Structure 1
Amino acid sequence: MGGGWVFQQDNDPKHRCYILFHDCAVVYGLRNQPYYKYVWNGKLLERVKDTVHPDWLMYIIHGFCGQSKLLIYGRPVHITLIARRSSRFAGTRFLKRGANCEGDVANEVETEQIVHDASVTSFTAGSYSSYVQVRGSVPLYWSQDISTMMPKPPIRLDQADPYAHVAGLHFDQMLQRFGSPIIILNLVKKREKRKHEKILSEDLYPAVVNLNQFLPPEHCIEYIAWDMARYTKSKLCNVLDRLNMIAENVVKRTGFFINRSDFYCHTLRPDDRWGDVGGYMTSSGRLQTGVLRTNCVDCLDRTNTAQFMVGKCALAYQLYALGMIDKPKLQFDTDCVRLFEELYEDHGDTLSLQYGGSQLVHRVKTYRKIAPWTQHSKDIMQTLSRYYSNAFSDADRQDAINLFLQVYQPSEGKAHLWELPTDFYLHQKSTLILPHDRRSYTMWWTQGILSYLPVPYDEAACEDTMKKVKVKRVNRFDESIDIYTEFYKPYELTLFDDTFSIIMSNAARELMPKYVGVDPSPFTVRKPEETGKSVLGSKSNKEEAVLQRKTAASAPPPPSEEAISTTSEDDSEEDRDDEGSVSQRSTPIKLLIEHLHATQQISVFSRLSLPVSQFPEDSIYGVCPPQVDRDSREVFESHVMTGRGHVRVLCREDMLMYREYVKNRYM
């Protein structure tokens, strides 16, 4: 090849492969095009994507992205939550309901939770786990009449669909993307004095039965109907316990993704539930097959709580698979679950604002029945805010969405967007076209899907996903993406306190109690009075936490002798404990301070401050410098002198090392 680079490009619209050759070595690379269902600027990029370099294209998703750090005895674990809203049949709450004629449903969101062992930052040697679930409107032709605005407009079925044609199109998409089993969790009401939500269940269940009679029994769609609102009012039923049973069954059926095979710790600490987890096993780990599809009427409040419980169950299995815990089970009132609950509440608030116009009305604490009385007034305000948005601002938001997604494209001689009486025909274009090849009512799935189930058809190695490539010579210094540089950005001058890894929510910093002697494990159940003050989502508290970190080394004002043995009056109620536990914790600390004072091992300033440990030399006030050898000291001093402008003469070993670096980096 003469030292040049050659790359091969795939012409498949779904995948683009780049295979690089340098001398005799072959380096394989893959550039994937995104799944356009969740790309919101896909239509805007269509005119330029074939003329500009792919690295210049920025694909935008609409939804939610949050990340938090879980410290397990100092071992960092990043928990990431990503929600992707569908760009098809997109809109606001009352204006987009049900499904369109192509099987796309309103408020369809794909939520993925990723667990990453951040102690190893390599993208190839690191350990990752992922779990995906979906929410979306009931896949039927239905809507609500908003001509006379009221809090709950009546639900009506717009079109009869006896052969479940639109539901078949929707579940065909899900089988193609997620594989089997497809599990439906329907949370709408069953018993009502006046039939309202029940209308949807009465039509959805026969549609699922009709579709299942043509599928193989092992790949049938599972239907779970549970009236969550009714059981919430009951004093005898625990809603979250019931959801936990459903979640356990779902996670075992679908499995989850992990890029590592079983660790040795699973043999040392076996668990009977681990052997029942499903999914598709590979030589390098396991894949999730199938997905849970949760819905209520709005797919907001009840759906978010149900998804949180399923995500909590999946998180336990993910942490167990990564060797973080000894059994796949997490309990409430632990730092880990509190951190995860805050993530899901932010996730639910964001999606609810985008679709309904307000934050969540009912949260996890509401269904646990531990919400404070002040929460009820907040719920009333959120309900009023949602009603105001639906009545006055949703129409303008819907027009903006239609224009941005290019569902409506302005042109001369065409009515303006605000002059249209309805946008029904913009989202239901195929209703105006007579289909030449009508889809079968019995073979309602895409050809070839069943032969690869339970593996998703999109990930199967077949002719549709593996296309031929052609060779093309490119410039030797063509742009490439260095993952290490993209992640760490070593060539940029940054402020350490402003980096995302520091600002990110941290379980040890924000949730763990601040007193001495507490179990630092994030899986320890803590009483409400023992837990630290939650600062997640509070801008002022986050700024205060950063300020406290910056001034951690400054000296506190010297308190009196009485202030050492008693609790300060300025302490918040959340940081206090009962009198017995306070005396038990303070007694050994007081004895230690008196002992150190008597032996004169610490200064007066240190004596008035609480040490972080009961060992005198293991604290921030008394640290012995590490002993290093002479060669290490010379290397360090050389770096310091170089920073001051005194550069030493390069020796032969330095030149050889630099040549090796240049050879590996640029040649």
Structure 2
Amino acid sequence: YLNHVKRIKCAKQETFTIYFNLLFLSSTAVVHGLQNEPYYKYVWNGKLLERVKDIVHHDWLTYIIYGFCGQSKLLIFGRPVLITLIARRSSKFAGTRFLKRGANCEGDVANEVETEQIIHDASVMSFTAGSYSSYVQVRGSVPLYWSQDISTMMPKPPIRLDQADPYAHVAALHFDQMLQRFGSPIIILNLVKKREKRKHEKILSEELYPAVTNLNQFLPPEHCIDYIAWDMARYTKSKLCNVLDRLSVIAENVVKRTGFFINRSDFYCHTLRPDDRWGDLGGHITFNGRVQTGVLRTNCVDCLDRTNTAQFMVGKCALAYQLYALGMIDKPKLQFDTDCVRLFEELYEDHGDTLSLQYGGSQLVHRVKTYRKIAPWTQHSKDIMQTLSRYYSNAFSDADRQDAINLFLQVFQPSESKPHLWELPTDFYLHQKNTMALPQERRSYTLWWTSGVLTYLPVPYDEVPCEETMKTVKVRRVNRFNEEIDTYTEFFRPFELTSFDETFCIAMTNSAWVFMPKTVGVDPSPFTVRKPDETGKSVLGSKSSKEETVLQRKTAASAPPPPSEEAISSSSEDDSEEDRDDDGSVSQRSTPIKLLTDSGESNRIHEPQQQTTKDPYGCNLAQLPAEEDLYIYKRQDKLASSSSSSSRAPVSIFSEDSVYAVSPPQSSADTHEALESHVLTGQGQARVLCREDVLMYREYVKNRYM
């Protein structure tokens, strides 16, 4: 054994030692791989794995995350971009609506969900050379001691504050966790009502704002918690206010402050085509890119309908910055009624429906179309049915679901000496265990954060390489070619026989399949505004004046459009002036090009559109061209498109208007040899393998089966 000692400087300017034991046997070194521990707050079977995680091999451990995962493909002129949306539900103080409200004594809130949107440039399938971008936001119940009385079930049970908390102790515990995980700034977007005839939601705002004010007086001014209160329900009822315009302004300010993650430094195109909004973008700039610092925390009473729409608007704003950072668009701005935003809206609606089913017992009642005021009357009937479904679930099935959650999370462990779960009058003490015992040391009301958190802000404490965070990293000795330390081999698994269907999901939602109009000749850009015509099909948006926009808004507010599904998905009456480009145009690219799609005809290029001859020539052809003529036209079009890579020479001396002769492409000797070998193999005359091929095959068999 040869022991090597390597000293590594930490961020705290402290040193510690890692011993690398290198065992030299047959000139092969043993590699030490790093294995991280998961963030157990979002692992739902963490208690079940505690007894076996140190005994069995870690490949046998499967960490379960409860929430939502969706992925769609956005085609930008044939360039695939994968948009992934992942929502992780917290396993602390988990439960159903009305049974889990507010926070427990440890600072964990009900219905806490961490939503992350990941943008991946799929044209480069590499973990080292690929481009990735991510943005995270959080939803959760109001961090106070509050609940609702469900002894007599009604649509809106009264809200009550269970305990007096003058020093905001439970809120301090909650925001201390957020500072450790996300850094600063922590931005609160409170969407509960402000004006009510009878105090209901207003009780929470009157208690939350003083709590945040009390905590901020002890923080440094540059790291204070931002509190934004906006009565979204009241603005929705007003015909003069546009809810999404106000949310877009809030989203712009939030994304500028927090920034986002990207593993690439700024492209040169940002210098050539600068944008004022990119210059003052926040976050932490590193050598390899950017890191998000801080997070937006959105809440209403249930954290379902209003919260999902607000998160969609923030995600839409972040998506524009992410695509701009990856060099996909010219400006960090996306408009409604484009293929890109429709695809993103569908992802967020599936995300909201899933979380609402898990917590509230029904799908979303109010969607993005509802707040845009373009939902037809059929949507209102669906909203009524979802409200009834949610009321039925809360009244009859939530108690059993809560018991199942308590059992699975090991909050309640059956025992012969204990009463049964269904015999307990309440599960309050199961989720608030610290209330049964006096704390050994009382936390300070002024220095309410964990020691060391403020030292590294705005960077989160959990991501700083110091002694505390390095405790979650384990150094393991693995083989040299072990897939545990090779991300590429672990994901693609090239040594296994796989099929195309297992590797690539052909059923993934695609912007070219679902949202792009089927009529050829339309601008294929997914960032082009498309408006419905008389037939309900999507067509290119044209320049419209301010009076036409105001008229469309009034029409949308008074009379909804016909309940056509295609018209619903492509309507754009509520498109705001702020979402348009500076020059008034609604299209960023207007030159139609040939698009390579992923549909059933993925290997074919869209054929040129056969337009009528009346417009250019003043007359119509009596009949369509024959198949032979069409075949010759297609061949000529294909040669013309590929002629840029081959040399062309004019036949006559008149170079401006002449027929060109195309020289055939030249092939190398290796190409001839490969083609000859392929033909001989097809005839059953396989050539003798060379020594390199034999050695490669032996190495494959050795790694695969031995």
SS at match of 2:87: strand
Structure 2 Cα separation of the partners of residues 20 and 123 of structure 1: 28
Is 2:534 the partner of 1:531? no
Does the CA-based 8 Å contact 2:32-2:478 persist in structure 1?
A: no
1:650 pairs with 665, 681, 689, which one? 689
Q: Are the structure 2 counterparts of residues 444 and 524 from structure 1 closer, same or farther at C-alpha, using a change threshold of 3 Å? A: same
Does the CA-based 8 Å contact 1:247-1:309 persist in structure 2?
A: yes
The alpha-carbon deviation at position 647 of structure 1 amounts to 3.4
Q: TM-score, normalised by structure 2?
A: 0.79
What letter is aligned with 1:638?
S
Structure 2 Cα separation of the partners of residues 87 and 599 of structure 1: 65
Structure 2 Cα separation of the partners of residues 536 and 487 of structure 1: 39
Deviations 1:386-445 (A, max 9, x none): 000000000000000000000000011211111111101100110011112001000100
What letter is aligned with 2:630?
I
The alpha-carbon deviation at position 531 of structure 1 amounts to 2.9
Q: Are the structure 2 counterparts of residues 476 and 398 from structure 1 closer, same or farther at C-alpha, using a change threshold of 3 Å? A: same
Is 2:600 the partner of 1:549? yes
Q: Which residue does the alignment assign to 1:374? A: 378
Root mean square deviation, CA, Å: 3.9
Does the CA-based 8 Å contact 2:35-2:475 persist in structure 1?
A: no
The alpha-carbon deviation at position 373 of structure 1 amounts to 1.2
The alpha-carbon deviation at position 466 of structure 1 amounts to 2.7
Does the CA-based 8 Å contact 1:505-1:536 persist in structure 2?
A: no
What letter is aligned with 1:292?
L
Structure 2 Cα separation of the partners of residues 660 and 69 of structure 1: 37
The alpha-carbon deviation at position 516 of structure 1 amounts to 1.3
Deviations 1:181-225 (A, max 9, x none): 000000000000011000000000000000000000000000000
Q: How does 1:586-665 map to 2 (within 5 A)?
A: 597=625, 600-602=628-630, 615=637, 629=668, 631-636=670-675, 638-639=677-678, 646-652=685-691, 654=693
Does the CA-based 8 Å contact 2:37-2:473 persist in structure 1?
A: no
Q: Which residue does the alignment assign to 1:30? A: 34
SS at match of 1:601: helix
Structure 2 Cα separation of the partners of residues 551 and 327 of structure 1: 30
What letter is aligned with 2:136?
V
Q: Which residue does the alignment assign to 1:444? A: 448
Q: Are the structure 2 counterparts of residues 591 and 500 from structure 1 closer, same or farther at C-alpha, using a change threshold of 3 Å? A: farther
Q: How does 1:379-458 map to 2 (within 5 A)?
A: 379-458=383-462
Structure 2 Cα separation of the partners of residues 57 and 388 of structure 1: 37
Q: Are the structure 2 counterparts of residues 222 and 551 from structure 1 closer, same or farther at C-alpha, using a change threshold of 3 Å? A: closer
SS at match of 1:30: strand
Structure 1 Cα separation of the partners of residues 566 and 32 of structure 2: 46
Structure 1 Cα separation of the partners of residues 476 and 159 of structure 2: 58
Does the CA-based 8 Å contact 2:258-2:294 persist in structure 1?
A: yes
Q: How does 1:308-319 map to 2 (within 5 A)?
A: 308-319=312-323
Q: Which residue does the alignment assign to 1:329? A: 333
Structure 1 Cα separation of the partners of residues 288 and 433 of structure 2: 44
Q: TM-score, normalised by structure 1?
A: 0.83
SS at match of 1:306: helix
Structure 1 Cα separation of the partners of residues 508 and 115 of structure 2: 20
Q: Which residue does the alignment assign to 1:110? A: 114
Structure 1 Cα separation of the partners of residues 403 and 568 of structure 2: 34
Greater shift in the superposed pair: 342-351 or 494-503: 494-503
Structure 1 Cα separation of the partners of residues 530 and 411 of structure 2: 51
Is 2:115 the partner of 1:98? no
Does the CA-based 8 Å contact 1:342-1:536 persist in structure 2?
A: no
Structure 2 Cα separation of the partners of residues 283 and 176 of structure 1: 23
What letter is aligned with 1:126?
G
Q: What is the percent sequence identity of the aligned residues?
A: 80
The alpha-carbon deviation at position 354 of structure 1 amounts to 0.2
What letter is aligned with 1:332?
F
SS at match of 2:361: coil
Unaligned runs of 5+ in 1: 7-16, 538-545, 554-563, 566-582
2:234 pairs with 218, 230, 235, which one? 230
SS at match of 1:638: helix
Q: Are the structure 2 counterparts of residues 156 and 495 from structure 1 closer, same or farther at C-alpha, using a change threshold of 3 Å? A: same
1:186 pairs with 173, 187, 190, which one? 190
SS at match of 1:465: helix
Does the CA-based 8 Å contact 1:100-1:427 persist in structure 2?
A: yes
Structure 1 Cα separation of the partners of residues 402 and 679 of structure 2: 60
Does the CA-based 8 Å contact 1:317-1:329 persist in structure 2?
A: yes
Does the CA-based 8 Å contact 2:31-2:479 persist in structure 1?
A: no
Structure 1 Cα separation of the partners of residues 567 and 52 of structure 2: 44
The alpha-carbon deviation at position 82 of structure 1 amounts to 0.2
SS at match of 1:273: helix
Q: Which residue does the alignment assign to 1:513? A: 517
Unaligned runs of 5+ in 2: 6-17, 540-564, 570-596, 642-661
Structure 2 Cα separation of the partners of residues 275 and 368 of structure 1: 31
The alpha-carbon deviation at position 495 of structure 1 amounts to 5.2
Does the CA-based 8 Å contact 1:592-1:614 persist in structure 2?
A: no
1:137 pairs with 105, 125, 141, which one? 141
SS at match of 1:450: helix
